[in-house]
């Protein structure tokens, strides 16, 4: 706590995913043989057809400030993508392109939340949701779930979390960190509850849409009665391995999109012009172009689950999407491992970094103190060696 800093930032926590990744990088640079399963970042190269369009954009002299809410051609590509992949109809005024889905989420929170508004976060939730909520004056209301319900919440739980102060519900499906995917029927059951509370806005983070092993992606916005109150968040970081290129986007009710455009115009302006041009190419191509990455993630999922299930005390759900496993490791709490007392998930995560040289992220950062998260966006060799080391360190 530094009194010279704002209350706002003093009350904020550092992103646990980025902090662990930075720590792993630091240790590696100091010569330690660290395997990082901390950051959710595809390890594939960006496909050549996307790289080529970025190079073309540079040679075509794209350099000037782009429109705040994105190039018209990119908005058209996003509209076509929404229609092709999700059967959703949007007009250009409903689309806002941002510097990553993270900025899209921050825009939404800033334009919708007033001091004291409650935001329902089905847990486990993605690490930044709670701090983005708090930074915007909102109060996170976490609905807990666990491995028995495949880390999904029930309509009854949703109903009991709603109060007159509830402003929005924010969740990801496929879910980071649990990999759970809500089916259309499950989403409908949640929508049936929400239909009684027409003022609640749904923020549906679908950034892992294509990294889905069951082949069926459903969105709350597809229900006619929910369309006008749902903001769909998506981006190219995960599906196209474009994490560092920083492009995210929303399809939203027009009044929300306009407000996001306004706020972005005062904070960052339009997203990077070269990355926007490359994103047009990425989205215009059919998802089959990136199927090789999904196939590889699926194989890695099988590998990591098999290896983890062989470690006593690690119990995993079967993730249906994204590229994370989220084992419940609470059976270690209260025990000693090589002289170190493990009281919680953070203790185990730090223990693994120190004694197995493997970086993971504590479940506490995702609102679930019984679990740790491992990203399997890593090579099969790294995964195999990392889990071998973990096993050796805990038995």
Q: What tokens does 203 get?
A: 């923020």
Site string for ligand PMP, 317-356 (x = CB under 6 A): ----------------------------------------
Among 248, 251, 270, 319, binds ligand PMP (CB under 6 A): 248
Among 176, 261, 279, 330, binds ligand GLU (CB under 6 A): 176
Of 75 and 246, which has the nearer Cβ to ligand GLU?
A: 246
Binding partner of 248, given ligand GLU, ligand PMP, none, CB within 5-8 angstroms per partner class: ligand PMP
What torsion do the CA atoms of 362, 365, 368, 369 make, to the nearest 10 degrees?
50
CB of residue 235 vs ligand PMP: minimum separation in angstroms?
4
Q: Is 123 in the site for ligand PMP (CB under 6 A)?
A: no
**CA–CA separation, 86 and 90 (whole Å):** 11
- Buried b / exposed e along 240-257 (16+ C-beta atoms within 10 A): bbbbebbbbbbbbbeebb
Backbone angles phi, psi at 164, to 5 degrees: -60, -15
Q: Is 355 exposed, middle or buried (0-12, 13-18, 19+ CB in 10 A)?
A: middle
Helix pair angle (48-59, 273-284), 10° resolution: 140
Q: Is 207 in the site for ligand PMP (CB under 6 A)?
A: yes
Of 194 and 353, which has the nearer Cβ to ligand GLU?
A: 353
**HSE-CB for 85 with a 13 A CA cutoff:** 25
Q: Near ligand PMP by CB under 6 A, which window of 95-103, 132-140, 261-269, 284-292?
A: 95-103
CB of residue 296 vs ligand GLU: minimum separation in angstroms?
18
Q: Is 229 in the site for ligand PMP (CB under 6 A)?
A: no
Q: Is 18 in the site for ligand GLU (CB under 6 A)?
A: yes
Q: What tokens does 337 get?
A: 């491992």
For the beta carbon of residue 141, count every other beta carbon within 10 angstroms: 17
200 and 229 Cβ atoms separated by less than 8 Å: yes
Q: What tokens does 110 get?
A: 């800033």
Site string for ligand GLU, 114-153 (x = CB under 6 A): -------------xx-------------------------
Binding partner of 39, given ligand GLU, ligand PMP, none, CB within 5-8 angstroms per partner class: ligand GLU
Among 24, 34, 35, 39, binds ligand GLU (CB under 6 A): 39
Q: Near ligand PMP by CB under 6 A, which window of 53-61, 96-104, 161-169, 186-194?
A: 96-104
221 and 230 Cβ atoms separated by less than 8 Å: yes
Backbone angles phi, psi at 386, to 5 degrees: -60, -45
Binding partner of 172, given ligand GLU, ligand PMP, none, CB within 5-8 angstroms per partner class: ligand PMP
Of 15 and 346, which has the nearer Cβ to ligand GLU?
A: 15
Give the interface size with ligand PMP as a residue count (CB under 6 A).
13
105 and 233 Cβ atoms separated by less than 8 Å: yes
Q: What tokens does 279 get?
A: 């994103």
Interface contacts to ligand PMP, rule CB under 6 A: 40, 100-102, 126, 172, 176, 205, 207, 235, 237, 243, 248
């Amino acid at each position: 706590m530094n009194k010279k800093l704002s209350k706002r930032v003093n009350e904020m926590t550092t992103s646990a995913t980025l902090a662990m990744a930075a720590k792993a990088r630091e240790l590696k640079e100091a010569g330690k043989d660290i395997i990082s399963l901390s950051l959710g970042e595809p390890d594939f190269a960006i496909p050549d057809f996307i790289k080529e369009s970025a190079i073309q954009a540079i040679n075509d002299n794209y350099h000037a400030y782009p429109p705040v809410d994105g190039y018209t051609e990119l908005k058209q590509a996003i509209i076509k993508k929404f229609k092709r992949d999700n059967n959703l109809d949007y007009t250009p005024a409903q689309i806002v392109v941002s510097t990553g889905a993270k900025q899209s989420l921050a825009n939404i929170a800033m334009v919708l939340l007033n001091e004291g508004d409650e935001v329902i976060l089905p847990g486990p939730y993605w690490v930044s949701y709670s701090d983005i909520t708090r930074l915007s004056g909102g109060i996170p209301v976490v609905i807990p779930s666990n491995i028995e319900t495949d880390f999904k919440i029930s309509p009854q739980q949703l109903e009991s979390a709603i109060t007159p102060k509830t402003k929005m519900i924010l969740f990801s499906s496929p879910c980071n960190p649990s990999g759970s995917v809500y089916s259309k029927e499950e989403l409908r059951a949640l929508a049936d509850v929400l239909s009684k509370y027409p003022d609640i806005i749904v923020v549906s983070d679908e950034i892992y849409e294509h990294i889905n092993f069951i082949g069926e992606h459903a969105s709350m916005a597809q229900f006619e009665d929910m369309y006008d109150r749902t903001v769909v968040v998506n981006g190219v970081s995960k599906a196209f391995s474009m994490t560092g290129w920083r492009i995210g986007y929303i399809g939203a009710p027009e009044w929300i999109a306009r407000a996001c455009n306004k706020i972005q115009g005062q904070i960052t302006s339009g997203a990077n012009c070269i990355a926007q041009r490359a994103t047009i190419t990425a989205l215009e191509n059919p998802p089959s172009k990136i199927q090789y990455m999904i196939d590889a993630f699926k194989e890695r999922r099988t590998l990591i689950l098999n290896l983890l299930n062989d470690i006593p005390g690690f119990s995993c759900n079967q993730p249906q999407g994204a590229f994370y496993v989220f084992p419940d490791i609470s059976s270690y709490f209260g025990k000693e491992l090589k002289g170190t007392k493990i009281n919680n998930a953070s203790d185990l995560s730090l223990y693994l970094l120190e004694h197995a040289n493997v970086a993971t992220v504590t479940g506490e950062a995702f609102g679930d103190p019984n679990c740790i998260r491992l990203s399997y966006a890593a090579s099969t060799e790294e995964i195999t060696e990392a889990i071998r080391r973990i096993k050796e360190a805990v038995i």
